[in-house]
Structure 1
Amino acid sequence: MSHRTELIVVSGASTGMGAATAHELAKRGYHVLAGVRRQIDAEAIREDGVEPVILDITAPEQIEALTERIAADPERRQLRALVNNAGIAVNAPVETLPLDQWRRQFDVNLFGHIAVTQALLPFLHDSRGRVVNISSLGGKVAMPTYGAYAGAKYALEAVSDALRRELGPHGVQVVVVEPGGVRTEMIGHGIERAKAFVKEMTPVNQRRYGSLMQAIINQATAFTKSGVTSQAAATVIADATTVPKPRTRYTIGRDAAMLTRLARILPDTALDRVSAANLRPHYPNA
């Protein structure tokens, strides 16, 4: 079935889940406005049904340009859905991560999504469309060194709940997707940032947190290798975006499904022990 009379915006579509989701939605017949940050990425993702748009979700002028593109659509297509997928990951202990890095993480992983959502909601009201927020397992379980990342994702979960309850009476749906381990470029970039950050730590903090950081890097590497593919994740996201009666939340991967359930039923101290046990084999001296 063709949905070429309907637009879907996907942010963070340069690589990984975002790119795979844009292609999957185009395959299902939608016209996708795929948000990318660089022209080279635009040329790489362009295909029939996938129209790249330059979109840094922290740049107001680029968000405004996106709204103008939708409003002036040459075929008068309606906006069916917004998939808020853009994100970055910076791992470091709360004590050591500079405040500018905290702000950057929240700017991209939370405030940027709110800005895009606010800008596009008038179109979604008209179409009785849908907002799909890509959260994370980290939006339910905050592992060591994931304070900033998980903090932004926890906040995105809360904003999504509020938005769902605000928009539901007006016919606009809000869905959250919580991926666990997915083999994406973002995880690899996060690992490289973590390695660089360890080198910048003071000698005191290296003694205090060096082994923890190495364990987190080792765990993330293993976690990613055993994770689902970007295409498998894209299938779930595309379903959440297009099925007539979506659930309020979807998980991606068995790890996300299991740990989000455990987070609901285990007391904090038990969850702390589970976290420590999962991390223990990844310490350098394990």
Structure 2
Amino acid sequence: MTASHGNEIMVVSGASTGIGAATARELAARGFHVLAGVRRERDGDAIRGDGVEPVILDLTRPEHVRALADRIASDPRHRPLRALVNNAAISVNAPAEVLPLDEWRRLFDVNLFGHIAITQALLPFLHRSHGRIVNISSVGGKIAMATYGAYAGAKFALEAVSDSLRRELAPHGVQVVVVEPGAVRSEMAGRGAATANDLAAMMNPEQRRRYGGLIEAVVAHSLAFTRNGLPSARAGAVIADAATVRRPRTRYTVGRDAALLTRLARFLPDRVLDRIAAANLRPYLPRQGT
């Protein structure tokens, strides 16, 4: 691929804000026509611009996925689909004991099954173009912190699906790449913190004694982690590279923290990782009254 492809389409899901919006703008700046998936009309108005065409896309609604496929099939300029960037995600953090099963299902529907649905729908176009799938995972796809069971579980699964898909599609000329961001400044952390606090408020007294301090620490750690992270534009540039370079790696990390943590996950024993995770949370635990 070259730096300018005005006659090719890119699809980016979850493009309302943060990493997805930054990726859509970066790809448009490189000359692609980007179909940017957003959930609301006002989000589309905010991202609409030169080379960025917003499309209403809730991955959990089959009619939205079908409409996107129809949009590509009926493109008036008959432009091929060069890459699909599966970025849409939600964050829900709570101890496994207290997270309602419906919340587990909702998170997996968006963060895993929704990506599979859109991949299935758009693969016929990618076969024709010998295009590429870029799945946005997370450092949470390699290390699962306390209360991250649902989120990390979906990301671990996305990593496995990506490996399997890469091996299925390689003989047919379709490439599959995973991007693993670490701390990136975006709105998702704030939304996840609000959800965690809402769930904490619903705990019974025994659960509150067990997990109240942990949830408080995880929320504070997550917000600080994100606040000190890279700008979304930096992540968008890495993802755009992953979608466009001629010979992509199978995996990219975003940020030094992601590069370090993914390496630690490969080489350190589980108990050592447990101690590191506990030490990272310790400064954020509420002080006990005297």
Q: The TM-score by the shorter chain falls in which range?
A: over 0.9
For 2:128 and 2:154, locate their aligned partners in 1 and report how far apart those are by CA, in whole Å. Answer: 29
Are residue 48 (structure 1) and residue 53 (structure 2) matched? no
Residue 242 (structure 2) aligned to one of 230, 240, 243: 240
> What is the deviation of 1:197?
1.3
Instruction: Using the TM superposition, give the Cα deviation of residue 221 of structure 1 relative to its aligned residue in structure 2, in angstroms.
Output: 1.1
In the alignment, the residues of structure 2 paired with residue 98 and residue 3 of structure 1 have an alpha-carbon distance, to the nearest angstrom, of 45
Q: In the TM superposition, what are the counterparts of 1:120-135 in structure 2 within 5 Å? A: 120-135=122-137
CA-to-partner distance for each residue in 1:179-216, whole Å, 9 max, x for gaps?
11111011110011111111111111000000000000
Aligned position for 1:215: 217
The CA RMSD measured in Å over matched residues stands at 0.8
The 10-residue stretch of structure 1 (189-198 or 129-138) with the greater mean CA deviation from structure 2: 189-198
Letter in 2 for 1:209: Y
Alignment correspondent of 1:114: 116
Between the two proteins, what is the percent identity of the paired residues?
Answer: 69
Q: In 2, distance between residues paired with 1:27 and 1:42?
A: 18
Distance in 2 separating the partners of 1:186 and 1:218: 14
Segments of 4+ moved more than 2 angstroms: none
Instruction: State the TM-score, normalizing by the size of structure 2.
Output: 0.98
Q: Deviations over 1:62-99 (max 9, x none)?
A: 10000000000000100000000000000000111000
Asked if 1:206 corresponds to 2:208, the answer is yes
Map 1:137-286 to 2 at 5 A: 137-285=139-287
Say if 2:4 is the partner of 1:2: yes
How many Å separate the matches in 2 of 1:127 and 1:163?
A: 17
**What is the distance in 2 between the residues matched to 1:112 and 1:84?**
9
Q: TM-score, normalised by structure 1?
A: 0.99
Secondary structure at the counterpart of residue 6 of structure 2: strand
Aligned mates of 1:230, 1:177 — CA distance in 2: 14
Equivalent position SS for 2:7:
strand
How far does residue 2 in structure 1 lie from its aligned partner after superposition? 2.9
Cα deviations across residues 34-80 of structure 1 (Å, max 9, x unaligned)?
Answer: 00010011111100100000000110001000000000000010000
Summarize the alignment of residues 6-25 of structure 1 with structure 2, pairs less than 5 Å apart. Answer: 6-25=8-27
Unaligned runs of 5+ in 1: none
**Partner of residue 41, structure 2:** 39
The equivalent of 2:97 in structure 1 is: 95
CA distance, structure 2, for counterparts of residue 145 and residue 2 of structure 1: 43
